[in-house]
Structure 1
């Protein structure tokens, strides 16, 4: 089955008083050029922030993030890749950050991941992210899960959203709408399931010209008006 963009637009538009109000509500993403201009330290910071958000209140993590920036010297990957067990233990004594040893240990791992991409691709991590086609968003999720530390599940999309890369999110409401439309019959987990979802988003994007992040927000709003 298919999910028609015209129906989706009309359903969501009813939630708002005007076109302008709806457009102002929908999320946006950075342009490829803006992604390229961001330093690799900003991508490591976003990765780390997403890792700490998993299973925790995002607002609490976000409130503490300036202290993380201070503690980890701005998340420069070259410096962070050198963090060893003793440095991690030192950070465990810092009561201004969230002292989760397992999550702290992802910082040097993800720093090395970023440095590896730089070496392999001959470009900054931002250029690598910017160049990845939206039509294969799930492929980027898979790469992040395989090569990054604790970037599986929803964390890959969550990181990309924090970093400003256009991506859809598979929230419970988005999955519910896809199921109601008959596109999937269960929460997607396998590569085949994910490709079916990707194909559905690609069709919506071709029909609308909208960002993936806006389309996933609209799918969510079509189920949950409170969003």
Structure 2
């Protein structure tokens, strides 16, 4: 089965007073050039912010993030890859940040991940992210989960959304709409089901011209008007 974009658009449009209100509400992704221009420190910061957001109120983490930026020297990968276990223990005494040892330990690991990608690709991490095709965004999720630290599950997509890379999110509302449309019969976890979901989004993107992030939001709004 497939999702009908015209039905989706009409359903979501009824939630808003005007076309302008709907378009203003829908999320925006950064253009490829914008992703390439971002420093790799911004990607490490976004990775780390996502790791700390997991299982916590996002507002609590976000309020402390300026203190994280200061404590971790702006998240420059070349510096943070050198963090020692003793330095991590030192951060456990800093009451301006969230003192979660396991999550703190991901910072030098993800710094190494970024540096490894740079060496392998011969370009910045931002270029690597920008050049990855949206038609296989689940492939990027898999890579992040395999090679990054604590970037599995929903965290890969959530990191990409924070960084500005176009991606869909498999929230409970999005999954509910996919199930109602007969695309999947349960929350997709297997690679087979993930490929089916990617195919459904690719078809929607081809028929609408919209980025994945907006299609994801529209699917959610078709189930939950308060999204």
TM interval, short-chain normalised: over 0.9
1:84 & 1:102 partners in 2: Cα distance?
14
* Uncovered stretches (5+) of structure 1, i.e. residues with no partner: none
After TM superposition, the runs of 4+ consecutive aligned structure 1 residues lying more than 2 A away are none
Q: Is structure 2 residue 5 aligned with structure 1 residue 5? A: yes
Instruction: Supply the distance in 1 between the matched residues of 2:72 and 2:211 (Cα, whole angstroms).
Output: 33
Distance across 2 between alignment mates of 1:105 and 1:137: 27
After superposition, residues 1-227 of structure 1 pair within 5 angstroms as: 1-227=1-227
Deviations 1:98-121 (A, max 9, x none): 000000000000000000000000
Structure 2 unmatched runs, 5+? none
Q: Under a length normalisation based on structure 2, what TM-score does the superposition of the two structures give?
A: 1.00
| Equivalences, count | 227
Under a length normalisation based on structure 1, what TM-score does the superposition of the two structures give?
1.00
The two structures, once aligned, show a CA RMSD in angstroms of 0.3
Q: Distance in 2 between matches of 1:162 and 1:24?
A: 18
Q: Take 1:217 and 1:121, find their aligned partners in 2: how far apart are those partners?
A: 32
Tell me the SS of whatever aligns to 2:52: helix
| Offset at residue 24 of structure 1 (A) | 0.4
